Amino acid sequence: MPATVILGAQWGDEGKGKLVDRLAEQATWVARFQGGNNAGHTVVLGEQVLKFHLLPSGITRKECNLILGDGMVIDPWVLNKELVDWKESSGEDPRGERLFISERAHIILPYHCYMDSLDKKIGTTGRGIGPTYADKINRIGLRFGDLSEVDGDLEWASSSSERMNASLEAAGSSERVSAESLLEDVKWICDNFSSSIAHTGLMLDNALKLGEHVILEGAQGCLLDIDQGTFPYVTSSVTSRGNSTHGAGIHPGHVEEVIGITKAYITRVGNGAMPTELLDEVGDHLGTVGHEFGTTTGRKRRCGWFDAVVMRHAHRINGFTGLALTKLDVLGGLDEINICVAYELDGQEIREMPSSASALARCKPIYITMPGFPSHSLTEWLGIAKKANEDSMGFKALPSAAQHYIKQLEVLVGVPCSSVGVGPDRDATIDRVD
């Protein structure tokens, strides 16, 4: 069975965790392929709300194996906290049993967090992601597969701490790293994770050859891609389809389905231009009804109308075979709904995103307007979704104006919607019926 890629199609926070959790019921493996604990994936199971930053969302399915892939940067202390919390709630510690860490994945050390905390421009999470990727590119990073080589190596620890302290001093930080603390950290990581470190790319390749279903779970979103996003207000990794297999250690021929996740509106956390951002009562409605606060940072998300320019860009980069539309319920109760179809830049209409951050900041959205549809409680939306799936009604169970809205988005982006989310619960998703 081919691999399925799940990607954020906007600026992240689109609802990847919920979709992966649903699809993992039929999967044998779920693998994260990039990013670190700057990601936040939320899964809602009835009254239980689970928030993951490093653990793949498939962890809720006990028969599903979990991979932290080659392209990730991993904070072992954050991972340990997530695993302790998971054991408290489920009674399971999956280390070495069904959770495996790539020997090629890089390690976030306290030094990286010290450096990241100095950011005043981009609006990063401060979790050490960028500095760890920088060390990776500079070929001086520490990988999980190298731990046994440096464990107890005072010469390595001394030279590494000297380099780190020189960088901290040059950057204006008062923090310092000692050789002794580095060795203690390495020993702690070895003691806690040596059973999980594996050649994960080979594991996934073998699974696919045996016909098992693999889900490749992305973090952040296409517009935060280091190459294809709104640079410099981006993350430090390639978040798009091209890195899904590379970051997992398998070849791209394994992939058949690529699902782009998008909200029925758009949000962004951190700095950078967002042409359709709403600073009025509608923006307040989206933020309040949609509970728009970052899973990782708790920061309030900026909200705006759906941006088809952004989505066409994401589709061109990723070649989506389907869209998973989330949070349609949040638009309920609005009299009118706008969709951005183009931008006005310096007096000219454009239909593609400019690469320049300053040019994007000057873009003014050009909208089409569609009628709104009624609001419902989350319980009512959940009932609508369950009935739609049980009776094979698909999107016809939705209000007619909501159906028209979905069709308009499909036309503008050029990709069919495979599912529509109408609430945070796992079952509050309506699958397409053709």
Residues annotated as catalytic are 13, 41
Identify whether the C-beta of residue 388 lies closer than 8 Å to the C-beta of residue 359: no
Angle at alpha carbon of residue 95, lines to 131 and 116, rounded to 5°: 15
Residue 174 CA to residue 388 CA, distance in Å, equals: 58
Residue 116 CA to residue 46 CA, distance in Å, equals: 36
Which among 367, 253, 393, 245 is positioned nearest to 308, based on CA atoms?
367
Identify whether the C-beta of residue 345 lies closer than 8 Å to the C-beta of residue 363: yes
> Which H or E element spans position 421?
strand 417-421
Identify whether the C-beta of residue 17 lies closer than 8 Å to the C-beta of residue 422: no
Identify whether the C-beta of residue 218 lies closer than 8 Å to the C-beta of residue 242: no
Max Cα distance, the chain (Å)? 69
Identify whether the C-beta of residue 17 lies closer than 8 Å to the C-beta of residue 218: no
* Cβ-count burial 122-157 (b if 16+ within 10 Å, e if not): bebbbbbbbbbbbbbeeeebbbbbbbeebbeeeebb
Identify the bridge partners of residue 99 per DSSP, sorted by sequence position.
66, 95
Q: Which residue has the tokens 């039929």?
A: 26
Identify the bridge partners of residue 275 per DSSP, sorted by sequence position.
none
Residue 148, both tokens:
């046994």
CA 3, 4, 7, 9 dihedral sign is positive
**Residue 280 CA: distances (Å) to CA of 11, 193, 206, 287, 300:** 21, 48, 53, 11, 15
